[in-house]
Amino acid sequence: MVTLLAPLDRKLLRDLWRIKGQALAIAAVIALGVLMLVMMTGLVNTLEETRRAYYDRYRLADVFAPVERAPDRVLERLAEIPGVAVAVGRVTGSALIDLEGEIVPVRAQAVSLPDHGPARLNDIHLTAGRMPDPDRGDEILLLKGFADARGLAPGDRLQATMNGARHGFRVAGLAQSPEFLYTTAPGEIVPDDARFAVIWMGRDALSAAYDMQGAFNEALVGLERGVNLQSVLDAIDRVLEPRGGLGAYGLEDLPSNFFITEEIEGGRKNAIAVPPIFLGVSAFLLYIVISRIVQAEREEIGLLKAFGYTDWEVASHYLKLMLTIAIAGAIAGSLGGIAAGRAMAGVYQDYYKFPFLVFQLDPRSFVIGVMTSVLAACAGGFGVLRGVFRLAPAVAMRPPAPADYSGTGRLAGLWSRLLDQPGRMVLRRLQRQPMRMAGGALGIATGMALSVGMIGVQAGFSKSIDLGFSVLDRSDAQVSFTHPQSDKAIYELGRLPGVQEVEPVRNVPVLLRHGLNDHRGTINGMLSAPRLARAMDEAQRPLTLPEEGIVLSTTLARVLEAAPGDVVTAEVREGRRPVLDIPVVAVADSLLGSPAYMNMEALNAALKEPGRVSGAYLRIDSAVQDEVLVAIKDMPGVAGVALKAETRDSIQTMMDSGMGMMRYIMLAIAGVVTFGIVYNSARIAFAERVHDLASLRVIGFSRGEAAFVLLGELGLVTLAALPLGALLGYGMAAAVSAAFSTEVYSIPLTFDAQSVGSAALAVLASAAFSGWLVKRDLDRVDLVTALKMGE
């Protein structure tokens, strides 16, 4: 087979075998870049396609319109709005589930189902058991994620409080719904299957529980294609306004859909930002390797041209060498990306509770991966190929002129006295070939920067949680009320034995607008100088909330494109639903969600509802915490209690799942790439100096002394790379932190001594292991063969 190949192709195979170590290292870097590209784009496509199929199959509504109470006949008017294809009404309400052995009741959302036939919109996927019997008002469906977390199954019974009355229910079946892919309690952003449930039951039974016979408190609307969403929302609001409409919103503002959209966008940003880093590193490595080969094969290039090979034929040989490495890496990366994408897709299916998964790769990612690998190879070898074209046969076959080192000076007398002969040889080479040494240091620094960036992101995730739950939130528990109450409820909480401190809050749902931008969220009314739940600036100094104005989180300010001095419009979605124009007075650093803060007294005054609270933060004596929670549970108007410790665990789980889990993969990849770069640098230095090292052995140097000449050089280059790697790592950490940050959580830029030190240790360990491998090869060198190599 080999004899059938052209002479240059046989030389190509020999060259690949000779540099197999470097070739594998470079191919691995390319493969990892392509793997990240294929995996991330595949995950983004899988999530988008699965979400689309799930929404279509179970007819998720396009518009949600909550209302205090509207008679069923109003649905006819909604259906007559131009662009509306279908409008249905349903009953929803908050509930508390009491589980045996649990002190804190579980918050739940009750949702009505049609008593007869499938739902026209927002249908459910039955996973176990059967549908509730319309003639039995005590039968319910339970959200599968909650049932699995609590060990519940069809046939089990549970107690729930709805609208102030206690009810007993029997679980008829378990279900999933596209409306609840990401389940959080109202007002929270952290999912926890064990702390929030969804109950589905017949329309008549749920209407009786909430006094909604013949009425609904939420309209679901399906739209025709090509309809202007805003015009339909405005029309729905006009119809429901007299009935206490709370503001219609589109699917993009549905909390579950919002969170999964953020996940998709985060994956898309990572797919764009991360792979080019690896491909750029591979281009640099290819340039170093191929330039060394060309320099070593000057005479062979001259002979080839003298025997009639054209400039292009000779240059194409080296181009094939680069392309073979690049394409092999791209193919390996594509296959690895498929396998990794499938594995990660299963994680997403569990995390987002999809009943099925439509795994779909993006064919463009393979094309882009191969093409960018080829371009990286060409970019890395362009300068080398230009040198091949310039070599004339007569010039190439002559040995290169000896280098002139007269301008580099001599070693200072002190170094000459302190260092032995091998040490002076190491230092003299660094002095005489500074650019080559700088290139090697730059390559190692690039690998270190990858590790610094990823270790910094790891630390950023931990810092985000520590700041959120140790600095911003210093409470032990948060109590929420079913509706705004008099501030007397705060005094009642404060009188409970074991409650050490109480801090009231007023949370008001609003639609914030600034220019063409809007955001559906909540204004958090707090004390002017809160102690338990605080807002802080970028320097982590507590903010004092002024008597006028609103403080936006950094994420929200970016979404609204608002800054201090601007005026935002707040359309309140409760009570009398006033529209407020509020000046922005400051921007606060927020790590979770996109909150807005106001002085509670100023907020209540603007709403003309003085002395109203919607919840409180508590500091509790840990010795009597259970007794306090039992007492709070029995207080009227309490919607739920969230323990900070449980919330923290839920956030840790959230950050370790989905795209957050990707940081572990990227950290492992960064470690592999760092080792590949360091090992490649060591192999290049070994190949360049094997003749010189063999000569040293022949004239009497021991194996250790000859190895010291090579490894001492590698050690000094590695040490020189460390400060440069730390500097590049700062930029890498900033870029990756920005890529991982979303509207759900922000990852602060973390660049500290621990991150840099950990990355430096990884580089030094890679250098030590690479040096051991190279020394082993040096000990096995055939001196006669090495000395026969051309200068």
How far is Cα 423 from Cα 567, in angstroms, rounded to an integer?
Answer: 69
The per-residue pLDDT for 296 is 64
pLDDT at 366 over 80: no
Q: Hey, what are 329's tokens?
A: 């890496």
Would you say 431 and 416 are in contact if contact means Cβ atoms under 8 Å apart? no
pLDDT at 593 over 50: yes
pLDDT at 1 over 50: no
Could you tell me which residues are beta bridge partners of residue 174?
Answer: 128, 142
Helix, strand, coil shares of the chain, percent, nearest 5, are 55, 20, 25
The per-residue pLDDT for 409 is 52
pLDDT at 335 over 60: yes
pLDDT at 658 over 60: no
In which residue are the tokens 């002076």 written?
A: 424
Q: Residue 489 to residues 83, 370, 505, 622: CA-CA distances in angstroms?
A: 46, 65, 12, 22
Q: Hey, what are 69's tokens?
A: 């109470």
How far is Cα 246 from Cα 253, in angstroms, rounded to an integer?
Answer: 14
Beta strands, E only, 547-609: 550-553, 567-572, 579-588, 596-599
70-87: average pLDDT:
93
How far is Cα 381 from Cα 498, in angstroms, rounded to an integer?
Answer: 72
Model confidence at 59, in pLDDT bands (50, 70, 90)?
Answer: very high
Coil, helix or strand for 739? Answer: helix
Of 145-154, 180-189, 419-428, 630-639, the least confident: 419-428
How far is Cα 730 from Cα 396, in angstroms, rounded to an integer?
Answer: 44
The per-residue pLDDT for 460 is 72
How far is Cα 114 from Cα 203, in angstroms, rounded to an integer?
Answer: 6
How far is Cα 627 from Cα 644, in angstroms, rounded to an integer?
Answer: 17
Would you say 267 and 43 are in contact if contact means Cβ atoms under 8 Å apart? yes
pLDDT at 411 over 60: no
Model confidence at 15, in pLDDT bands (50, 70, 90)?
Answer: confident
Residue 492 φ then ψ, to 5°: -65, -40
Per residue in 160-219, pLDDT tens?
A: 888 878 889 999 999 999 999 877 776 666 677 888 899 999 999 999 999 999 999 999
Q: Hey, what are 107's tokens?
A: 């918050």
Q: Residue 324 to residues 34, 195, 283, 316, 317: CA-CA distances in angstroms?
A: 15, 54, 13, 12, 11
How far is Cα 182 from Cα 305, in angstroms, rounded to an integer?
Answer: 67
The per-residue pLDDT for 373 is 73
Per residue in 448-500, pLDDT tens?
A: 887 777 777 777 777 777 777 777 778 888 888 878 888 888 888 888 898 88
Per residue in 278-332, pLDDT tens?
A: 666 666 666 666 676 666 666 777 777 777 777 778 778 777 888 888 888 888 8
Delimit the domains of the chain by residue range.
1-62+257-401, 63-256, 421-471+651-791, 472-650
DSSP string, 19-49: THHHHHHHHHHHHHHHHHHHHHHHHHHHHHH
pLDDT at 233 over 50: yes
The per-residue pLDDT for 528 is 87
Coil, helix or strand for 158? Answer: strand
Residue 239 φ then ψ, to 5°: -70, -40
pLDDT at 630 over 70: yes
239-258: average pLDDT:
88
Per residue in 373-383, pLDDT tens?
A: 777 667 656 66
Q: Residue 123 to residues 61, 76, 130, 175, 191: CA-CA distances in angstroms?
A: 10, 21, 14, 10, 22
Could you tell me which residues are beta bridge partners of residue 509?
Answer: 522
DSSP state of 745: B
Q: Give the percent of the chain with pLDDT over 70.
A: 80
Would you say 589 and 540 are in contact if contact means Cβ atoms under 8 Å apart? yes
pLDDT at 406 over 60: no
500-527: average pLDDT:
88
Cβ neighbours around 414 below 10 Å, total: 8
Model confidence at 126, in pLDDT bands (50, 70, 90)?
Answer: very high
HSE at residue 554, side-chain half, CA atoms within 13 A, is: 17
Strands 106-113 and 196-202: parallel
Coil, helix or strand for 705? Answer: helix
Task: State the Rg of the chain over Cα.
Answer: 34
The per-residue pLDDT for 791 is 45
Most confident of 358-372, 426-440, 648-662, 673-687: 358-372
Residue 362 φ then ψ, to 5°: -95, 110
Stronger pLDDT, 722 or 655, i.e. the higher one: 722
629-641: average pLDDT:
78
Model confidence at 125, in pLDDT bands (50, 70, 90)?
Answer: very high
Model confidence at 547, in pLDDT bands (50, 70, 90)?
Answer: confident
**What count of residues does the chain have?**
791
Of 17-26, 64-73, 329-338, 352-361, the least confident: 17-26
